[in-house]
Amino acid sequence: MKVAFVQDWLTVDGGAEKVAKEIINCFDDVDVFCLVDDLSDKDRTEIIKGKSTTTSFIQKLPFGKKSYRNYFPLFPCAIESLDFTGYDLIVSSSYSVAKGLKKATKNQTHICYCHSPIRYAWDLQEEYLSHVNGLKRVLARIFLAYIRKWDLKTANRPDHYITNSHFVAERIKRIYKREATVIYPPIDTTSFSYVEQKENYYFTSARMVPYKKIDLIVKAFAQLPNLKLIVSGDGPELENLKRMATENVDFIGFVSKSSLIDYTQRAKAFILAAEEDFGITSIEAQSCGTPIIALKKGGYLETVIENKTGVFFDEQTAESIIDTIDLFENKKTNFAKEDFIENVTRFSIERFKKEFKSFVKKHG
């Protein structure tokens, strides 16, 4: 069976790329396609076995590799331009337009691992537009309307949908009117070993972008001067966050994986304020035996067991975070090692590969 793997773009080693790596590892051989490829040699070896990729025409446009998002009105045309002649199975990993690829023949099978329908065109549209002004905002609305129309028109191109959570499966059903099988993404839980002894600080780590809502966590700790917060990560919002932070908040920027694990292992709790589709970092923290304090919405309802591996706050506000931290400090809940281990086992790499291979065998 000749297999093609397709991802929207390959530029960093992120959550979708971890899924891509294990999907590719499920096959003896696979050819890789994407709109844009800007992987480092190290990431190329790690994610796609050092393979070369077939890219779209966006790769060759001015600044296409680095500023490909500026060409998003061309994404539908770009994904449709890729040629899949000669393949028996096409597997797409889609959070943008990959699911809309065109099969070369009706005899091919297209399985889409859909991380989410296009976020900036649907659920996060207003948040995306809030950071765009003037004529660019007007044009963005026009382009997003076009992208939504195309996205709906191509919803039936995949033969089968897989997704990362029941939360996203419901979104796929609402927007695309398609059923999706839930196969939780593969998490390298073995790298994040359990540490029982915790230190007196809270921790969060994320890309510093608006939807991660790190600002709410920073604002909360401004009103909790006796508690310490350490923030890891980089991104466009970093300087704004530093300006609003009080002395009890430390920013450590982007850190190595080993340092990230160390900070996570020693933290008394890991705080997450975004409404995530799944939330890989919550699983990694739980693998360290570190309790989660998270928004009671989205994927966290599937990855965190309340009062066993973490606690929830109800509203996406600083006040709700403060109230939950106060309860966490005063309740002194004993979180059991067995509960963490039992929970994170549900998200292992071997479990993912077994379920994915079984799905392909049945439908491929």
State pLDDT tens for residues 34-73. Answer: 999 999 999 999 999 999 999 999 999 999 999 998 898 9
Separation of alpha carbons 95 and 8, rounded Å: 7
For the chain, domain boundaries: 3-186+348-363, 189-346
Separation of alpha carbons 32 and 184, rounded Å: 22
Q: Which fold has domain 3-186+348-363?
A: Rossmann fold (3.40.50)
Q: Which fold has domain 189-346?
A: Rossmann fold (3.40.50)
**pLDDT at position 310, please?**
97
**Whole-number Cα distances in Å, 283 to 114, 297, 342:** 20, 16, 12
Do the beta carbons of residue 98 and residue 154 sit within 8 Å?
A: no
* Averaged confidence pLDDT in the chain: 94
- pLDDT above 90 (res 17): yes
**pLDDT at position 130, please?**
73
- How confident is residue 128, by pLDDT bands cut at 50, 70 and 90? confident
Question: Two tokens at 331?
Answer: 């309740």
**pLDDT at position 135, please?**
84
Tell me the mean pLDDT in the region 286-297: 97
Per-residue exposure over 246-259, b if at least 16 CB sit within 10 Å of its own CB, e if not:
eeebebeeeeeeee
**pLDDT at position 105, please?**
97
Separation of alpha carbons 298 and 279, rounded Å: 9
pTM above threshold 0.85 = yes
Q: Do domains 3-186+348-363 and 189-346 have the same CATH topology?
A: yes
Tell me the mean pLDDT in the region 224-232: 98
Chain CA centroid to CA 331, Å: 32
**Whole-number Cα distances in Å, 201 to 229, 263, 267, 306, 329:** 6, 9, 6, 21, 11
By mean pLDDT, which of 66-75, 316-325, 351-360 is the weakest?
66-75
